[in-house]
């Protein structure tokens, strides 16, 4: 029984890490998109 709970904890940790990496990727892509928009508007001005 103990082995099973340890496996579940491991799986949960893996999922949490994947979620954090996914959120980081989304945030960084949103920031780069935002900076690109600013750069474009500055060039046009």
pLDDT tens digits for range 1-45: 678 999 999 999 999 999 999 999 999 999 999 999 999 999 997
- The tokens for 42 are 């500055």
Q: Say what the pTM is.
A: 0.60
SS3 31: helix
Q: Please give the pLDDT value at position 8.
A: 94
Q: Please give the pLDDT value at position 45.
A: 77
Q: Please give the pLDDT value at position 1.
A: 64
- The tokens for 21 are 């990496």
């Amino acid at each position: 029984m103990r082995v099973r709970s340890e496996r579940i904890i491991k799986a949960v940790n893996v999922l949490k890490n994947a979620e954090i990496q996914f959120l980081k990727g989304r945030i960084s892509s949103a920031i780069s998109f935002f900076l690109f928009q600013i750069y474009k508007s500055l060039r046009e001005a």
